[in-house]
């Protein structure tokens, strides 16, 4: 695979740092150029999350309140009935959500009545006309295809951090297993949603290497959630120093420049962000958020506060799917913006 500039679509650290370390006004300008080439800069995609199976997860992700390895006091819940999931999706739609994402605290999907019930929920939510996203852990090829056939459009599966830092955070699965699931998701015709978490003690270089891994996927992920760690008491990361806000903005801008067509989602951690920081994130190219007072298990800003902020900034909810709203005639090839917008040959 080559970019429009004829160079491979892989990014070494020097190239990534050349973008990330730009003077902030220059970085934001280039991120804005990338965003305007592919998106309505005033439109924000509103997504809703529903935890359909909560807690007691066998994985040991150090950040996660749902891991059975940490004592976080979280009340575990069995898989929700499909009718209840569909009712929750209907409420989300009435509240303005365009995408409904169902999350399960599973290491991997297992065939059987539980997966069949999730497929029923996917069919029901998709019949409402919502874009359906699932995040259920690792998948095999047949399971990915069944999800797609049921009406799921997007699968979320995060790389979370760099390959080097990954073992510090999770030891019950490997980085390559993560990439293999992403490959199966793509092969089944599902859109890929993959991003990570900042503030887990990783270095700036780890964050950039993670973005480099995501941007090396061909094609790029369709959406890239950037989470700020929500420190949860009882997890090994409860006391981590919060990510520096300007560093957070730089990561958003770099993601936007590297993956210009992706939806860049300002995900977990917004309750600790000021309105001004969120505004900077929108300027840096973020164009999607989760709406609703709860993420999976942790708090999210009040819906009314988010709507107020969007109104103050003159932003409006994205209507229709991202593909429908792409700016006509502005579609560039994979990686082209890295050459033409960032001015950096990667
Ligand atoms: N079990 C599935 C998996 O790991 O892919 C799906 C659910 S998992 C909770 C989805 C994502 O939530 C994780 O990959 C991680 O990026 C994010 N996440 C979990 N706990 C978080 C926290 N405390 N702060 C920020 N993001 C978190
Ligand atoms: C993602 O990257 N962030 C969302 C979504 N994908 C599934 C999840 C955030 C979870 C934050 C911790 C919690 O609420 O449990
Ligand atoms: Fe389980 Fe996902 Fe949480 Fe890891 S992030 S413990 S896999 S729910």
pLDDT digit string, tens, across residues 236-286: 999 999 999 999 999 999 999 999 999 999 999 999 999 999 999 999 999
Ligand 3 centroid from CA 252, angstroms = 23
The residue from 47, 61, 152, 281 that is catalytic is 61
Displacement of CA 96 from its chain's centroid (Å): 19
Catalytic status, residue 133: yes
Q: Which of 64, 296, 297 to mutate to test the pocket of ligand 3 (most atoms within 8 A of CB)?
A: 64
Ligand 3 atom closest to 64 (CA) = 3
Catalytic status, residue 281: no
- Give the CB-side neighbour count of residue 46, counting CA atoms within 13 A: 21
How many other CB atoms are found less than 10 A from the CB of residue 213?
21
Ligand 3 atom closest to 59 (CA) = 6
The residue from 101, 134, 152, 339 that is catalytic is 101
**CA atoms of 207 and 249, how far apart (whole Å):** 12
Q: Which residue would you say has higher pLDDT here, 59 or 11? A: 59
Report pLDDT digits (tens) over 221-237. 999 999 999 999 999 99
Structure confidence at residue 320 (pLDDT)? 66
**CA atoms of 109 and 116, how far apart (whole Å):** 11
Structure confidence at residue 325 (pLDDT)? 44
- Ligand positioned closest to the Cα atom of 229: 1
The residue from 265, 270, 281, 339 that is catalytic is 265
What average pLDDT does this structure show over 122-144? 95
The architecture that CATH gives domain 13-319 is Alpha-Beta Barrel (3.20)
Ligand 3 atom closest to 137 (CA) = 7
Please give the C-alpha separations between residue 136 and each of 59, 133, 158, 342, in angstroms, as whole numbers. 12, 10, 11, 35
Ligand 3 within 6 A of CB of 61: yes
Residue 339's pLDDT band, with cuts at 50, 70 and 90, is very low
Ligand 3 atom closest to 60 (CA) = 6
Q: Which of 296, 297, 300 to mutate to test the pocket of ligand 2 (most atoms within 8 A of CB)?
A: 296
Residues across the chain: 346
268 burial type by CB count under 10 A (0-12 exposed, 13-18 middle, 19+ buried): buried
Report pLDDT digits (tens) over 301-331. 998 899 999 999 999 998 765 544 444 433 3
Ligand 3 within 6 A of CB of 193: no
Ligand 3 within 6 A of CB of 54: no
Q: Which of 73, 137, 225, 228 to mutate to test the pocket of ligand 2 (most atoms within 8 A of CB)?
A: 225
Ligand 1 atom closest to 232 (CA) = 23
Question: Above 60 in pLDDT, residue 51?
Answer: yes
Question: Above 70 in pLDDT, residue 334?
Answer: no
The residue whose CA has the least distance to atom 11 of ligand 2 is 268
Ligand 1 centroid from CA 64, angstroms = 6
Catalytic status, residue 101: yes
* DSSP conformation class of 220: P
Q: Among residues of the chain, what percentage have pLDDT more than 90?
A: 82
Structure confidence at residue 322 (pLDDT)? 52
For 149, phi and psi rounded to 5 degrees? -65, -35
Task: List beta partners, residue 53.
Answer: 104
For 335, phi and psi rounded to 5 degrees? 80, -5
| Beta carbons of 289 and 47 less than 8 angstroms apart | yes
* DSSP conformation class of 221: P
Residue 4's pLDDT band, with cuts at 50, 70 and 90, is very low
């Amino acid at each position: 695979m080559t970019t429009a500039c004829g160079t491979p679509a892989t990014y070494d650290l020097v190239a990534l740092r050349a973008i990330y370390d730009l003077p902030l006004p220059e970085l934001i300008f280039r991120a804005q150029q990338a965003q305007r080439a592919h998106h309505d800069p005033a439109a924000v995609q509103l997504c809703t999350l529903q935890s359909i199976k909560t807690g007691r997860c066998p994985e040991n992700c150090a950040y996660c309140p749902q891991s059975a390895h940490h004592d976080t006091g979280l009340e575990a819940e069995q898989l929700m009935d499909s009718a209840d999931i569909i009712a929750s999706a209907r409420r989300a739609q009435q509240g303005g959500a365009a995408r409904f994402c169902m999350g399960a605290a599973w290491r991997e999907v297992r065939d059987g009545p539980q997966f069949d019930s999730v497929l029923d929920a996917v069919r029901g939510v998709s019949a409402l006309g919502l874009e359906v996203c699932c995040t259920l852990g690792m998948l095999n090829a047949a399971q990915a295809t069944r999800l797609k056939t049921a009406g799921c459009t997007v699968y979320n599966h995060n790389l979370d951090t760099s390959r080097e830092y990954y073992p510090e955070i999770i030891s019950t699965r490997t980085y390559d297993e993560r990439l293999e699931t992403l490959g199966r998701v793509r092969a089944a015709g599902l859109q890929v949603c993959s991003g990570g978490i900042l503030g887990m003690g990783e270095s700036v270089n780890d964050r950039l290497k993670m973005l480099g891994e995501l941007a090396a996927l061909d094609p790029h992920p369709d959406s890239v959630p950037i989470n700020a760690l929500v420190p949860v008491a009882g997890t090994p990361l409860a006391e981590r120093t919060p990510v520096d806000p300007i560093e957070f903005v730089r990561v958003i801008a770099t993601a936007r420049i590297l993956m210009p067509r992706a939806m860049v989602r300002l995900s977990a951690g917004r309750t600790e962000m000021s309105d001004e920081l969120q505004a900077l994130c929108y300027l840096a190219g973020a164009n999607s958020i989760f709406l609703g007072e709860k993420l999976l298990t942790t708090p999210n800003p009040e819906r009314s506060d988010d709507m107020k902020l969007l109104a103050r900034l003159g932003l409006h909810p994205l209507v229709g799917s991202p593909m429908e709203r792409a700016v006509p005639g502005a579609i560039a090839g994979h990686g082209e913006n890295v050459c033409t917008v960032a001015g950096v040959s990667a």
